[in-house]
Amino acid sequence: MTNALHHRVIALAIATVAAMASQGAAAQGLRPSGAATGSGLSSPRPAAAPSITLPAPGAATSSAPRQADFIVAVANSEPITNNEVRSRLARAEAQLAQQGGAMPPRDLLAREVLERLILERVQLQQARESGIKVDDFAVSQAEQGVAQQNSMTVDELYRRLARDGMSRERFREELRNQLLQQKLREREVEARVKVTDLDVDQYLREQQQGNDVSNMEINLGHVLVLVPENATPAQVVERQARAQQAADKVRAGEDFAAVAREFSDAQEGQRAGGLLGMRPADRYPELFVNSTQGLPVGGIVGPLRSPAGFHVLKVVERVTAGVPTTVVQSHARHILLRTGPQLTETAAAARLADYRRRVLAGQADFAALAREHSQDGSSKEGGDLGWANPGRYVPEFEQAMNALKPGDISEPLVSRFGVHLIQLLERREAKLTQREQRDMARSTVREKKLDEAYATWAQELRGRAYVEYRDPPQ
């Protein structure tokens, strides 16, 4: 494995809570800054809600008993303890094993986890010093988002987390910390990013030339047959035979979704017929990419062995990532209440929840409420935002809008601009003009530059911090 790829594997393992989207405000109160003038287009950032991949049922999240705690490092006078590293390390190992990735040496992974904790601690310190705060309502919204991403209710989420040794209070505190870090990144990184026409031209040329894995998006069908930790040889043979049976069935022409529901121990086996969804190839484990790279669409491979168990994979779709020519547009309207000292997120959400109740009961008209109460430039149009291409709005807004069916009204939604109530009016498929395609390319370039700018900013922040290493993690 190359050094760069090795570190991507480690980063994938320790990112139990994904960084939320970071883009700034523009006139609409919804559009990312730096988007092309006129269309307001921008490619989507990562999921708006913190995203956690929970260990598979029965997967171990800690391989050693708790021991007397001690300080392993100090970041700007704030201690980081061995048990903090051990807890995060156990979750990282469980996630990496579940995803079928190669497991790096434990001491190296522990060091990466410690460095991530140091960087998080330094960012949280700066966020607090800057007066950045996160309302309880925003934490509850993120809590709901994580539960939805894992196809469970909030109560089910906490029962699952309790089995893995994490309390509700600790989990909510982690969510709050992630939201604080995100707000800090939005403020510090946005202004660093500029996209020129030359940047866009170069990106378009690269898209026309390449067909390598870095430009590839694939959708895989996945059957996972878990192998318990410390399994006996007989158990391994039995699990391999079960995976082989699943592979034989799909090769014989049986419906992959039905086979996944029958055999797979992975969450997507029951939830989505084994489909992992279209995503960039570098977001899949290296094992999955390498084993399917030469297969045609519809090809089957497996069983493949990983630390998690045995995998059977099917190539469902494969496309070269680039600028689309046709998209599904959305037509929505919204009511925005901006928050501040006079109006908390909780109070704004309560007010919008009452508007929603009144509209659904036929006691009020959405457009009339928007004209009277919305604090967005669209208020004079009854909150109407017109037709929008994917990526026009900031991710937290777009994610909520995409979950609606025409006519639906969302629950109150917190974004970086305030609290929204969204109604989806209709959707349609539309061809992009050349200008719109170029705008989407510009947004993709901005996306990459944001990632680079964040990495530079984080390195600078880490460099200014005082860090003292004590005893190494154990």
140-148, long-range: CB < 8 A, 24+ apart: 141/49, 141/413, 141/414, 142/49, 142/50, 142/175, 142/178, 142/179, 143/171, 143/172, 143/175, 144/49, 145/47, 145/48, 145/49, 145/50, 145/51, 145/399, 146/49, 146/50, 146/51, 146/52, 146/175, 148/49
Using pLDDT thresholds of 50, 70 and 90, give the confidence band for residue 431: confident
Q: Which pLDDT score, from 0 to 100, does residue 101 have?
A: 58
Domain check: are 165 and 251 in the same one?
Answer: no
Over 90: is that where the pLDDT of 386 sits?
yes
142 and 267 part of one domain = no
3-state secondary structure of 188: helix
In a domain, 199, yes or no: no
In a domain, residue 206? The reply is no
Q: What is the CATH number of the domain that holds 65?
A: 1.10.4030.10
Tokens of 276: 């992992």
In a domain, 150, yes or no: yes
| Omega cis (within 30) before 296 | no
Q: Which of 297, 320, 343 is the last residue of a domain?
A: 320
Domain span at residue 362? 326-431
pLDDT at 44: 33
Looking at the fold, whether 153 and 54 belong to one and the same domain comes out as: yes
Q: DSSP character for 381?
A: G
Question: What is the count of structural domains for the chain?
Answer: 3
pLDDT at 229: 76
Q: What is the pLDDT of residues 302-342, one digit of tens each?
A: 899 888 889 999 988 877 656 677 889 999 999 999 998 88
Pair 185, 310 in one domain: no
Is residue 56 located within the same domain as residue 144?
yes
Got the DSSP string for 417-443?
Answer: TEEEEEEEEEEEEEEPPHHHHHHHHHH
pLDDT, average across residues 411-434? 91
Identify whether residues 18 and 138 lie together within a single domain.
Answer: yes
Residues 137 and 89 in one domain: yes
**What CATH number does the domain containing 388 carry?**
3.10.50.40
User: How many whole angstroms separate alpha carbon 454 and alpha carbon 463?
Assistant: 14
| 3-state SS string for 316-377 | EEEEECCCCCEEEEEEEEEEEECCECCECHHHHHHHHHHHHHHHHCCCCCHHHHHHHHCCCH
Identify whether 474 is part of a domain.
no
Clarify whether residues 251 and 126 are in a common domain. Answer: no
What is the per-residue pLDDT across 250-278, written as a single tens digit (0 to 9) for each?
888 888 888 888 888 876 656 667 888 88
Q: How far is CA 462 from CA 74, 120, 410, in A?
A: 13, 10, 39
Measured CA to CA, the distance from residue 356 to residue 411 in angstroms comes to: 8
In a domain, 400, yes or no: yes
